[in-house]
A and B are shown apart, each in its own frame.
Chain A
Amino acid sequence: DGGITQSPKYLFRKEGQNVTLSCEQNLNHDAMYWYRQDPGQGLRLIYYSQIVNDFQKGDIAEGYSVSREKKESFPLTVTSAQKNPTAFYLCASHLAGSGEQFFGPGTRLTVL
């Protein structure tokens, strides 16, 4: 089945450690996105990528980094510079020229 996978679903890390969240899609979509969601809040855009080897900062990129070496994959690294990394992270993708974004199941990151 086509879709977006994010792993793991729950992730715990110690403060000061970098952590990488996985996002893979087999929908052959061009664009991919990373969002952060805090309790009672909407989605805030961290990074997005329209094509391989290219990506742009979103509204809250500080403390995060991404790569887009393959069309199917868009991993997000939460660095130790991110002041408050505990949140729910959602990955999305869409086909160029189409409307809706499709989402993965999300990763809930807790930094202890």
Chain B
Amino acid sequence: AQKITQTQPGMFVQEKEAVTLDCTYDTSDQSYGLFWYKQPSSGEMIFLIYQGSYDEQNATEGRYSLNFQKARKSANLVISASQLGDSAMYFCAMREGRDAGNNRKLIWGLGTSLAVNP
């Protein structure tokens, strides 16, 4: 079963409008972290925002905010005032509790392709 689900393969948004990219996750751990990364056409993965499972406030970083609904196990990314440069792939990832090797690996969704129209 997928541990990270991104149900929107592709999204379109008009420049200057807000857009929400969906992410749902599945874990039985009490302690976990959720990440969003942006991957432009150049290929490099760019960290955007992080939400810890015990954080009571939704994370925000500039135009990015994370709508964290713990009971629903969702961690949607909201981009406000979209810009042309926001056109990219967006990946949601989760870090569960430590595995047997005391390492915290990331589990990745399949991504959402966002196109910002002028």
Contact = CB atoms under 8 A, between A and B. Distances in A.
Interface of A: 31, 33, 40-45, 48, 50, 56, 58, 88, 90, 92, 99-106, 108
A58 B110 contact: no
A42 B110 contact: yes
Nearest 8 A/B pairs, CB to CB: A42-B108, A103-B45, A106-B43, A100-B47, A43-B108, A42-B110, A105-B44, A99-B50
Given A41-B110, A50-B102, A106-B44, 17 more contacts: A33-B105, A42-B109, A42-B110, A43-B91, A43-B93, A45-B105, A45-B106, A48-B103, A50-B101, A90-B43, A90-B45, A92-B45, A99-B52, A100-B47, A102-B47, A103-B44, A104-B44
Interface of A is mostly: strand
Contacts, number: 53
Given A99-B33, A103-B44, A103-B45, A42 B91 contact: yes
